[in-house]
Amino acid sequence: MNDFPILTLVLLVPLVGAAVVGLMPTREGVDDRPKQVGLIFSVLTLIIGVVIAAAYKVGDGGMQLTETHDWVPAFGVHYALGLDGLGLLMVLLTVALVPLVLLAAWTDADGADAKRFVAWTLALEALSLTVFAATDVFLFYVVFEATLIPAYFLVGGFGRKNRSAAALKFLMFQLGGGLVLLGSVIGLYVVSAQQGSPSYLYSDLQALDISTDAGRWLFAGFFIAFAIKAPLFPVHTWLADTTEQATPPTSVLLVCILDKIGTFGMLRFCLGLFPEASEWATPLVIVLALISIVYGAFVAIGQDDILRLIGLTSLSHFGFITLGIFVFTAQGATGSILYMVNHGIATAALFFAAGFLIKRRGTTLISQMGGLEKVTPVLAGLFLVAGLATLGLPGLSQFVSEILVLIAAFDYAWYVGAIAVSGIVLAAVYVLWAYQRMMTGPNPAGLQAELDADAQGEGVRDLTRRELVVLAPLTAALVLFGFYPAPLLDVSNPTVYSLLDNAGVADDGPDVPVGTHAEEGDH
């Protein structure tokens, strides 16, 4: 397995799938062939992802399954791939969610529209996997920017009437961040060329002796780009507009996969390449993270559009992730990595359940729902489980992530932890109040007639088998990792300790508990 380019294979399969679907002839009427072909390729990618996980040696904090080939030798550019624990978890999250996205969107479009949606989805999967596996900074930058192409067409081509404006706003923010990142990427070339032969390999860049001023300027370019991608306050305004106008499956791709590139990049590149600058910027970053936590939660409470509400909750959650990264402790960094995984699972379940509700009601407005648990009890129950996971209920996976981040926040400063805790309190408000308005209480005008029709076999229905297949594994994962997070900890801990050791940070806090594959003394 060490010599077999399995990472290249996992990138190529969805890319080939996108090409095959895109080149398929379009037939008149209902044609499920593009969806079926796309689903087959996404499942094949998932299987390869499982093989990668099986080949990964848990407990090793370094890069594994590496591939390195010269690409542009004159500029030190390589086609270089590899995975550590952070990259592996992001790859597994991506390959697990894409088949569910295709299933959830099965009835959203037909014909040419379905073909375009499936092709762009597979293309985005391939590019996202490349981002998470890239160990050459130039390669990372190229695919970082390339992800915008399928994302733009997914937002602008499918969704509600203002989707074109939302797609343009999304693109402008992301391109702005990409231009700033390009400046830092060029700066890394200059620094590496001054100290010998230029190289963009992550391992070579870690060995550079970067001056304090240069490191801080380069850090700023990387951090700004990742803060927009995540996003963080105050460069977050594209997020709610995008999730409001895009289809729920597209929002899953954006919020649960693509936006993770932002916090992934903070861990991999900001801490990995610029540890001194990261510590220097910590006070400002923590302030931005706390504002994101509280502001995102407050604004979410007042939303009447369920898709916009879920988008704003993610602003609050990305604040938690960023806070955990920049407190520079094992608990915080491990909590952030787990948060990235668990947020992807819980938020995907929320978007999918909300999309199924919207199809039944024909509206995204919470005020026009109500009483739906009477006729869709299974859907209401699974929506509630996802919501409870979002607010950090003990026994569900996101609680583990939040408690680790909060421990680290209180260890950093009691007032930082106290402000962060308010985000959990506010989360309980926006989740439970939204559930109450949507699922319980009296039926709004027009819904009672549909409920009466349902009694005669027509009208609003509960989940179909296809929809259950989408939500059931996500719900199971929320419960499983809530009670047994050890597999995630086993994979993430070595990477965290490696990052902290590279940063020269003495972590005096208690070790994060691990499972059977790693021991406290490993770091």
Residues 311-327 pLDDT 10s: 999 999 999 999 999 99
The confidence score (pLDDT) of residue 137 equals 94
Task: Tell me if the pTM is above 0.95.
Answer: no
Closest CA to 137 of 168, 182, 175, 84: 182
Residue 93 banded pLDDT, cuts 50, 70, 90: very high
Query: Phi first, then psi: what are they for 222, rounded to 5°?
Result: -65, -45
**Cα distance between residue 482 and residue 332, in whole Å:** 18
Q: Residues 6 or more apart from 184 whose CB is under 8 A from it? A: 217, 218, 219, 220, 221, 222, 225
Q: What angle do CA 257, 86, 97 make, to 5 degrees?
A: 30
55-69, 70-84, 328-342: least confident range: 55-69
Contact 113, 158 (CB under 8 A): yes
User: Which pLDDT score is estimated for 344?
Assistant: 93
pLDDT at res. 104: 92
Residue predicted with more confidence, 356 or 444: 356
pLDDT of residue 370: 76
Q: Does residue 458 or residue 420 have the better pLDDT?
A: 420
3-class DSSP state for residue 80? strand
Distance CA 380, CA 475 (A): 13
Confidence of residue 519 (pLDDT cuts 50, 70, 90): very low
User: What's the rounded mean pLDDT across residues 231-236?
Assistant: 90
pLDDT at 337: 94
Nearest-CA neighbor of 248 among 158, 122, 343? 158
pLDDT at residue 357 above 70? yes
Q: What are the tens digits of pLDDT across the range 165-221?
A: 999 999 999 999 999 999 999 999 999 988 888 889 998 898 888 889 999 999 999
- The token pair that represents 79 in the structure block: 């086609």
Strands 64-72 and 77-83: antiparallel
CA 231 to CA 233: how far, in whole Å?
Answer: 7
Q: What is the pLDDT of residues 376-405, one digit of tens each?
A: 889 889 999 999 999 888 999 899 999 999
pLDDT at 338: 94
